[in-house]
Structure 1
Amino acid sequence: MSIIVGLTGGIGSGKTTVAKLFEKHGVPIYIADERARMIMDQPEVVQAVQQIFKTSVINEFGLLDRARIKALVFDDKTLLEQLNQVVHPRVKKDFEDWLAAQHNSPFVIKESAILFENGLEKDCDVVILVVAAEEVRIERVMARDGVSKEQVLKIIDNQMKDEEKIGRSQYIIENNNKKTIESDIISIIRDINLKNHLI
């Protein structure tokens, strides 16, 4: 059975970039957001999500309007919980099926933005936290999503603080400069493989 390594970080921390670098070094990567998007395109999931909302959240292509859903759940915790009840069990099952196919890998990485928020760290053997300076995070998200500084700050304020996550993580990667993180990743891979060998 592969060791499950959780990889997380706040918005704009660059955790997906870090995940891709692990993948470059031969570590299988499960990116929860990407898999959740695929799952949310399934017709039965589209219908189950639509039942949560009073207004239509299906676009002209018969798929979920993610921007509309995001706006509706952003300030409504009840709606967000109902949405999570539809999506999260399906993502959990999808991960279990994916993990079963990785039996030749000493460890795998499960990347999730909300690993701690959803209590998913209890399913991981080790957690890696990606952090970056707030101004770097803001610039990245503004460039990527075309949003204002105020919008990014609002999202950051709604997320669990890095200080709390640091105390619950085994490894920390500072991702302010992409040039310096690959050596960190290589040393983490060596360390996890060594510990795995000693178990």
Structure 2
Amino acid sequence: MKLGVTGGIGSGKSTVAGMLRQNGAALIDADAIARSVTEAEGAAIAALRDEFGPDYITDGALDRARMRTLVFSDPTAKQRLEAIVHPFVGREIAHAAAQAHRAGHALIVFDIPLLTESPRWARQLDTVLVVDCREETQIQRVQMRSGLTADAVRAIMATQSPRATRRAAADLVVYNDGLALSDLQTKAREIAVFFGL
């Protein structure tokens, strides 16, 4: 079974995905894979340097802060970035999924921040789990963990699908607002049991 887990920034989707891994699922983290292909000596670095120039590569890795600024100011930059990075990420995800399948995992969890932004995922997943919370909660959580301003967090949120769009794509929803961590763990365990773990 292939389960896509998504949610807006600060929703807790990666926390839920990690809890499902703790309950026996294989976990494929699309964000971690994207970071790996854009870190020093990553597979996408040469193409990124060719497309955006050496100013966007620092110590051999993508300068994320500079790229984030460019993406917010130039809509075409995001498309150009994704056109380079996504094929590398897609290949790595497919490879990791094949490994998990060969290892006999009953549930493969795909932690995908931008699941509803890309039409390709619907064809590749059996079920979609959306981790949802109020926008105010998202902003507070991201500010606490990253130190970004509220406006900076809102700018990131504006590049993601609206809550209603994510919820409409969901087969399952975990409402992660005001939950204690132990309650979230209980929910994750219930989902794991539902999928036969």
1:51 matched residue in structure 2: 50
**Alignment TM-score, normalising by the size of structure 1:** 0.89
Task: Name structure 1 gaps, 5 residues minimum.
Answer: 195-199
Residue type at the aligned position of 1:115: L
Q: Distance in 1 between matches of 2:64 and 2:122?
A: 26
The alpha-carbon deviation at position 20 of structure 1 amounts to: 1.2
Q: Which moved more, 1:6-15 or 1:75-84?
A: 75-84
Task: Name structure 2 gaps, 5 residues minimum.
Answer: none
2:168 matched residue in structure 1: 167
Q: Distance in 1 between matches of 2:190 and 2:42?
A: 43
Q: Distance in 2 between matches of 1:64 and 1:101?
A: 28
The alpha-carbon deviation at position 43 of structure 1 amounts to: 5.0
**Alignment TM-score, normalising by the size of structure 2:** 0.90
| Matched-pair contact (CA < 8 Å) for 2:71–2:78 | yes
1:25 to 23, 26, 33: 23
| Matched-pair contact (CA < 8 Å) for 1:11–1:141 | yes
Residues 84-129 of structure 1 deviation map (CA, whole Å, 9 limit, x = unaligned): 1111111111111111111201111000110110222331110000
Q: 1:43 to 1:136 in 2, by over 3 A?
A: closer
| Matched-pair contact (CA < 8 Å) for 2:43–2:88 | no
1:192 matched residue in structure 2: 195
Q: Secondary structure at the match of 2:57?
A: coil
Q: How many residues align?
A: 191
Residue type at the aligned position of 1:76: D
Q: 1:108 to 1:53 in 2, by over 3 A?
A: same
Q: Distance in 1 between matches of 2:56 and 2:91?
A: 25
Q: Secondary structure at the match of 1:51?
A: helix
Q: Which moved more, 1:14-23 or 1:35-44?
A: 35-44
- Map 1:67-106 onto structure 2 (within 5 A): 67-103=65-101, 104-106=104-106
Percent same amino acid at aligned positions? Answer: 29
Q: Which moved more, 1:153-162 or 1:88-97?
A: 153-162
Q: Distance in 1 between matches of 2:44 and 2:158?
A: 30
The alpha-carbon deviation at position 62 of structure 1 amounts to: 2.0
Q: Distance in 2 between matches of 1:121 and 1:33?
A: 18
Q: Which moved more, 1:3-12 or 1:148-157?
A: 148-157
CA RMSD in angstroms comes to 1.7
The alpha-carbon deviation at position 54 of structure 1 amounts to: 4.9
1:146 matched residue in structure 2: 147
Q: Secondary structure at the match of 1:12?
A: coil
The alpha-carbon deviation at position 32 of structure 1 amounts to: 0.5
2:134 matched residue in structure 1: 133
